[in-house]
Amino acid sequence: MIIRDYNHRDETGWVRCRALAFLQTAYFDNVLTKKEHYQNPSIELVAEHDGQIVGLIDVEYAEEQTVCSRGEGLGGMIWHIAVHPDFYRQGIGQQLLVAAENRAKKLGLNRLEAWTRNDLWVQKWYKRMQFNIVDSYYHVYFEEDELHPNYKSSIPDLYLVNTFAHYVGKNIEQFKDNKRIYECVCFEKFIFLPLNNS
Ligand SMILES: CC(C)(COP(=O)(O)OP(=O)(O)OC[C@H]1O[C@@H](n2cnc3c(N)ncnc32)[C@H](O)[C@@H]1OP(=O)(O)O)[C@@H](O)C(=O)NCCC(=O)NCCS
């Protein structure tokens, strides 16, 4: 297994690996058909085994809060990290992260940020990789039978059927009967300590 830079010829393998990895998670239907590309500079690595893409990590980075939701200086957002399910728990995720962190340190990044839903095993992985939870809000899905009569489109002849929403308030209990509701959690890891902590 080798970790190397993403190459445009990897796109099909990247898309397949990501889709299969996320099938086991609360993001199971968040399927991309093309590799995402970024406005800002990025670190894009893949893990390759016998010619197959078995893991991937994408980190976009920028100053201040351009891509990260918090912090000062150069910070990186992990938009995608995924390991093919046939290769879970073999250290590939950790190796991808370490490789990305080494690049990030050389580039002068001081921290990494990642958002994930409440898949406890994925959160366990982030905690084991020394990330800390620093924020959260909710992802709420409304299927047709869950849409309250007040949830209306103001566009004539347009009727909401299924809806996805972000909820940042305190009264999440009001949606407790929805079938799909997730806490979306922000993980942060300092790869260089901020000055006031050193
Ligand atoms: C999260 C993910 C990237 C981890 O990669 P990985 O190569 O499987 O994990 P590693 O081998 O680096 O680390 C394994 C450790 O993580 C934790 N972990 C990973 N999967 C776990 C599981 N199913 N149950 C419990 N702990 C788990 C454990 O601490 C484990 O150590 P152990 O096997 O000694 O108990 C990978 O499982 C994945 O692709 N998940 C789906 C996609 C995803 O959720 N990405 C992140 C959201 S943005």
pLDDT for the residue 190 = 96
Instruction: Domain ranges for the chain, please list them.
Output: 2-134, 137-181
73 neighbors 110 (Cβ within 8 angstroms): yes
User: Is the beta carbon of 28 within 6 A of some atom in ligand 1?
Assistant: no
Model pLDDT, residue 177: 94
Distance between CA 129 and CA 97 in Å, rounded? 8
Q: Which atom of ligand 1 is nearest to the CA of 117?
A: 47
What is the model's pLDDT at position 195?
60
Q: Are 2 and 47 in contact (CB under 8 A)?
A: yes
Q: What pLDDT score was predicted for residue 194? A: 60
Confidence at residue 19, expressed as pLDDT on a 0 to 100 scale? 98
Task: Give the residue, by CA position, lying nearest to ligand 1 atom 27.
Answer: 121
Ligand 1 center from residue 156 Cα (angstroms) = 47
For the CA of 92, the closest atom of ligand 1 is 7
**70 C-beta closer than 6 A to ligand 1:** no
pLDDT score for 54? 98
Identify whether the C-beta of residue 76 lies closer than 8 Å to the C-beta of residue 67. yes
Strand, helix or coil for residue 160? coil
88 lines ligand 1 (CB under 6 A): yes
* Residue 127, ligand 1, Cβ within 6 A: no
Return the pLDDT at 148.
Answer: 86
Which residue numbers in the chain have pLDDT < 50? 198
Does domain 2-134 sit in CATH 3.40.630.30? yes
